[in-house]
Structure 1
Amino acid sequence: MALGDVVLVATDLSDSADEAIKLGHEYAKRAGGKFVVCHVVHEVLRSAPLFPQAIQADMEALIHAESRAAAAVEDRVKDLTGLPSSGFEVRIESGGADAAILRVAEDVSATLVVTGSRGLTGIARLLLGNVAERIVRYAHCPVLVARPHARSKKILAATDLSELSQPGVALAGQVAAEQGAALTVVHALDVLPAPALGFTVPFGGAPIIPPPELIEQMRVGADGVVGGMIDRLGIKADRRVSEGDAATVVIRTAEELDVDLVVVSTHGRTGLARVALGSVAEKVVRGVQCSVLVARSH
């Protein structure tokens, strides 16, 4: 199944969401897939059994709001994509935004959910909004967090060398092949594990740092594992192994290479049995300046 078979875009009709509509359309167009755009109207229904006329007025207001929203979404999508009304589906939902979007994603069997980088909160800040964060965490399929960025046709995929991180690398290879983009796979070599710092410094010790020769051996070994993963997956990619914590390495490498897409997996784990591409994935989504595709590791 292709990533763009059923693309669901979440929009709050903000400028941030416009990039999500444009990118979502591109993925659906490449795959010849279904393109669905969802907008959630805030639901305010009073519980007033003694005043049924008030409940009826609320229902009428909600219906009117949904009708206006449907027209606004349709016009926005047509302006941004050039599609006719028959070329996409508009879904207008009411209630909690994240729950509604996740529900629609399940309902349409979405293969990709696309949301804007500011989430659907309207808060002008760099971090993801709570709604977008919950979509990234709980959607059943990959989620693309869209950001405007000059197209460089360069993609960066992150791996912690675990099997659970391989779906992200494989997905990055698929997207790179579809877009004719250059792919780089990066692994972060964390030479200063948190336990070493925690056990020594509070008692007057110094952080335990491996000698340079051992670090080089670790780097060469990791590079070989990354190369083996690339070969097994049958994808074409360059590889990098850089020292530092995972999120910092991914964000820094994305800037150095000027990529227009970063691909990360959730639930990747290291040999220390800690989350490496779970919480790290969220830090990467917040920290990079380009779009991020979050793959699911099942």
Structure 2
Amino acid sequence: MALGDVVLVATDLSESADVAIKLGHEYAERAGGKLVVCHVVHEVLRSAPLFPQAVQADMEAVIHAESRAAAAVEDRVKEITGRPSNGFEVRIESGGADAAILRVAEEVAATLVVTGSRGLTGIARLLLGNVAERIVRYAHCPVLVARSHARTNKVLASTDLSELSQPGIALAGQVAAMQGATLTVLHSLDILPAPAFGFTVPFGGAPVVPPPELIEQMRTGADGVLAGIIERMGMKAERRVTDGDAATAVLRTAEELDAELVVVSTHGRTGLARVALGSVAEKIVRGAHCSVLVARSH
């Protein structure tokens, strides 16, 4: 099943969501897939058995709000994508935004969920909206956190060389092939000690730093493993092996390459483990200057 077979876009009709609509449209169009756009109206119904007229008024208000939202979403999607009214499906839901979007994703069997990030620039970029964050954590399929970025046709995938990270590499290869983009696969050797590493450092001890020869051997070995993974997947990709904290290395490399997309894998497997978004993935989703595609490792 292709990534763009059933694309669900979550929109709150904000500027950030407009980017999500645009990218979701592109993914669905490339795959000849279905585009579903979902907007959630806040539910305001009260429980007032002694005043049924109040409940009736609330119901009418919700119905009116949903009707207006449906028209607004349809107009926005047609304006951004150029699709006709019958070229996409609009879903208007009520209740909690993240729960509603996740429910619709399951109902339509989404192969990709696209959501905007409210972070814009600077420190605000770190303030990923709670709704987007929960969608990334709980969705059953890959999630694209969309950010506006110039088209550079450069995709960066990160891997810790484990089997759990390989779905992300495969997904990055699929996206790069669809877009005709250059793919770079990055692994970072997180072996150098951070400042004040270990119990002895604050008391005058020195952190243990591997000798340069050993670091070079590790780098060569990692590059060989990386080459083997890429070869087994039958992909064409550039390889990079760097040093340092993995999330920092990915964010730095994405900036250096001017990548328009970063692809990472979560480490959740099934059930409750799905909520365990890895700390590296979380930092990348929050801190990247471009869109981030989160692949689900099952």
Partner residue of 2:31?
A: 31
Counterpart of 2:214, as a letter, is: L
Matched letter for residue 67 of structure 2:
S
Unaligned runs of 5+ in 1: 270-275
| Equivalent residue, structure 2, for 1:190 | 190
Identity of aligned residues (%): 84
1:25–1:35 CA contact under 8 A, matched in 2: yes
1:76 is matched by which residue type in structure 2? R
| Pairs within 5 Å for 1:132-281 | 132-192=132-192, 197-267=197-267, 278-281=278-281
2:6 is aligned to 6
Q: Deviations over 1:224-272 (max 9, x none)?
A: 1111110111110000001110100000000001110000000189xxx
How far the C-alpha of 1:207 sits from its partner, in A, is 1.7
Q: Deviations over 1:84-142 (max 9, x none)?
A: 000000000000000000000000000000000218xxxx9322100000001110000
Distance (whole Å) between structure 2 residues aligned to residue 104 and residue 86 of structure 1: 19
Structure 1's 170 and 80: CA in aligned 2 closer, same or farther, altered over 3 A? same
Instruction: Flag structure 2 segments of 5+ consecutive residues without an equivalent.
Output: 270-275
Residue aligned with 1:218, SS: helix
Alignment-derived partner of residue 272 in structure 1: none
Q: Which residue of 1 aligns with 2:129?
A: 129
How is 1:4-153 mapped onto 2 (pairs within 5 angstroms)? 4-118=4-118, 125-126=124-125, 127-153=127-153
> Which stretches of structure 1, 4 residues or longer, exceed 3 Å deviation after superposition?
none
The aligned residue for residue 293 of structure 1 is 293
Q: In 2, Cα distance between the equivalents of 1:50 and 1:242?
A: 67
Q: Which string of whole-angstrom CA distances, capped at 9 and with x for unpartnered residues, describes residues 48-78 of structure 1? A: 1111111111111000000000000000000
CA RMSD of aligned residues (A): 1.9
Query: Within 2, Cα distance between the matches of 1:51 and 1:66?
Result: 23
Matches of 2:129 and 2:97, distance apart in 1: 11
Partner SS for 2:145 = strand
Whichever residue aligns with residue 30 of structure 2, its letter is R
Indicate conservation of the 8 Å contact 1:12/1:40, yes or no. yes
Counterpart secondary structure, 2:200: helix
Following the alignment from structure 1 to structure 2, what is the Cα–Cα distance between the partners of residues 134 and 74?
A: 25
- The letter for the 1-side match of 2:124 is R
Q: Secondary structure at the match of 1:197?
A: coil
Alignment deviations for residues 145-204 of structure 1 (CA, whole Å, 9 cap, x no partner):
11110100000000000000000000100111111000000001111357x923432554
**Across the two proteins, how many residue pairs are aligned to each other?**
288
- Which SS does the other structure have where 1:220 is aligned? helix
The residue identity in structure 2 corresponding to 1:283 is: K
Say whether the 8 Å CA contact 2:161–2:225 is kept in structure 1: yes
Provide the TM-score with structure 2 as the length reference: 0.93
